[in-house]
Structure 1
């Protein structure tokens, strides 16, 4: 007997993958989740697409795994990784990512005071 609140899964049992989607801000015309190829929704591809300017003004990155039934805003983690990679390569963040990274870093960054003797 089935439970009344049970919904069948649309995800095959043997396919467990975390998907990453980017929301982009298009200014006056609004915000939208960007279309992505099915094979291009892994974290590494999304980070590379962000670094190469595939998104005009990203404002959120969300990860989800339908098989495990969870979703999470991973914008802060992605922003931290973007900054880390650019620092490691000793290059500036692409201009399309500056607002995104600054928005994610703002609550965590504090100016430390230096005591002079």
Structure 2
């Protein structure tokens, strides 16, 4: 992971903002990780499951009023795994590494 971190958490309304660090994109060699901002965790999970974010590395949350930052990658990965388990589908290939690395999940064999 790069040494990037938010330098200033803005003052204002009490809002939690989520940043997804994604390592895909056309300038992968110039900037191996890009931060993509989202307003809520549900949007992040949906974007990850539908392939709008192709190579997630980490998900960070920060609150603009309380001035905290937290790595929520484990919670997001566990929620993705749970939803896939409930639906009886495998974790999408583009997020398998993210889910496995943040849940400690062993790659599962999916029988046809």
1:86 and 1:61 map into 2 onto residues whose CA distance is 19
SS at match of 1:28: coil
Number of the residue aligned with 1:5: none
Cα shift at 1:92: 1.2
Change (3 A) 1:85 1:66: same
2:45 and 2:39 map into 1 onto residues whose CA distance is 10
Number of the residue aligned with 1:97: 95
2:11 and 2:22 map into 1 onto residues whose CA distance is 26
| One of 32, 35, 43 as aligned partner of 1:33 | 35
Moved over 4 A (4+): none
- TM-score calculated relative to the size of structure 2: 0.75
**1:61 has 2:62 as partner:** no
How many equivalent pairs are there? 94
For structure 1, the residue ranges without an aligned partner over 5 or more in a row are 1-8, 111-117
Q: Where do 1:1-117 residues align within 5 Å? A: 10-12=10-12, 15-26=13-24, 27-29=28-30, 30-34=32-36, 36=37, 40-106=38-104
Cα shift at 1:19: 1.0
RMSD: 1.9
1:10 and 1:21 map into 2 onto residues whose CA distance is 14
For structure 2, the residue ranges without an aligned partner over 5 or more in a row are 1-8, 107-112
Cα shift at 1:93: 1.0
- TM-score calculated relative to the size of structure 1: 0.72
